[in-house]
Amino acid sequence: MNPPPAADPRPFGGTASPIPAPGVTGATVIALIYLSAGALVCTALAATLWHGVHEPTVALAFGALIAIGELARCGTVPSEREAAPLGAAGALAYALLGECGGGPTSHGVFQVTTVVFAAVLTGIVPHVARGRGPSPDHVVRRVLTVGFAAVCFQPLYNSGELPLWSNESYYALFLLVLLLLTALCDAVLAAVMLRARTGFPYLSLLRDELRALLGIGSAVCATGAVIALAVAAAGLWALPVFCVPLLLTQLSFRRYEGFRATYRQTIVSLARATEIAGYTPPGHARRVAELSCAVGREVGLAGKDLTVLEYAALMHDIGQLSLVDPVPDGATALLPVAEQRRIALLSGAVARQTGVPPAVAIIVERQADPSYEQPLAARIVRTVNAYDDLTGAHGGGAGGALAALERLRLAPEADHQREVVEALARVLARGAQAPVRQA
């Protein structure tokens, strides 16, 4: 097991899932994906420069749309799956464009890639200048996903050999199937890159990505197809008309995500009350929440289940505020079982009064029950809380972490489920260690 790192530089409200350093295999996967995207872009740029730009007005219009979509990511909250849906829809529409105003277009896969790449770079430059630019993964995913759609559509359409173009029903069905394949391609690619960077289980990450397609992802795919069909019939004037609904959807979704971020920050502030009052060590709730979410990912939790787990982990000790005499070092894992259950029930009662979802309060109040009676999230919170308490009791450092983990392994099954303990061990082995406590 890798020794714990020094103090975590992230602020208290940072991400709920620690990002472990990628191993050699993960780095190799990322390198191969980046090399593939780089090779496609270089080939596309060379081909476009050699053959020139076909329909420059159409290319400029779609390029401007994609760039504006990337610029519109200003103020986007980090939890959004697709931070620039307008840019994604515009890029997808250009890849699926076969006609403009009733006349055929002649741009191909390479020009689509060139225009999308140039437009994305243009749109993110202001964000990069402010130090808030997207990850390079965003550009790589956009290039590869749009390239996949263009490869599937442009050669078939431009060849004119398939009879289905004369039947509108077949054409719509073909677009629908192609959109589904493109969305699946993007989800698979995103999950592969996250797996390579974090080491979390691939199927859990893929489920998360596929679930996201039902939200803003479906709006992006539908808008991209509608824009391509509208421009084919009405020309470039259809671009602003059909982009407004997606832009309004993006603004509404951003406001909703803003409310969620504020709500989470409120829970984070409540969780710090035990630290400010001196009942728990500084950073205890944050460490437990971060490591619990990492273990939750490891055992296959995703989406709302992870959110509930994070909230419960943040509030698991809030009942200590009701105690007359504080627990030494706030280490509830070292108390008798009866006292652990009493504090858990107090924490659940306080959590209910704060208005958190009932599922959160249930996990908090059942964290001290026998493991075979607990929901999975409660088992995770109990084990991770015990690990953090024991690490402090053993003095921290690599020796303290090893001793704490060994004690959890030797504990009765009723206290700590073996599967959860081993999931914690795997997470720690990858370096996803909660920040060490401050002196």
Listing DSSP states for 109-163 in one string gives HHHHHHHHHHHHHHHHHHHHHTT-PPPHHHHHHHHHHHHHHHHHHHHHHHH---G
pLDDT at 146: 94
Name every residue whose Cβ is closer than 8 Å to that of residue 392 and which is 6 or more positions away in sequence: 281, 329, 331, 400, 437
Distance CA 230, CA 246 (A): 15
- Let me know: does 295 contact 427? Beta carbons within 8 Å: yes
Which range has the worst mean pLDDT, 12-21, 130-139, 419-428? Answer: 12-21
Most confident of the following: 80-94, 181-195, 315-329? 181-195
pLDDT at 49: 93
Name every residue whose Cβ is closer than 8 Å to that of residue 247 and which is 6 or more positions away in sequence: 72, 86
DSSP string, 23-76: -HHHHHHHHHHHHHHHHHHHHHHHHHHHH--SSHHHHHHHHHHHHHHHHTTTT-
Give the confidence band of 430 by pLDDT, cuts at 50, 70, 90: confident
Span 351-393, pLDDT tens digits: 888 888 888 989 998 888 888 888 999 999 999 998 988 887 5
Does residue 416 carry a pLDDT above 70? yes
Q: Which residues pair with residue 103 across a beta bridge?
A: 100
Structure tokens at 6: 């020094």
pLDDT at 8: 35
Does residue 21 carry a pLDDT above 50? no
Indicate the pTM of the whole model: 0.74
Distance CA 274, CA 270 (A): 8
Any idea what the Cα angle at residue 406 is, between residues 403 and 412, rounded to 5°?
130
pLDDT at 77: 45
Cα distances (angstroms) measured from residue 59 to each of 115, 222, 377:
7, 21, 50
pLDDT over 90 percentage in the chain: 24
What torsion, rounded to 10 degrees, do the Cα atoms 10, 11, 13, 16 define? 20
| Span 108-133, average pLDDT | 89
pLDDT over 70 percentage in the chain: 87
Distance CA 344, CA 364 (A): 6
Estimate to the nearest angstrom the gap between the alpha carbon of 315 and the chain centroid.
23
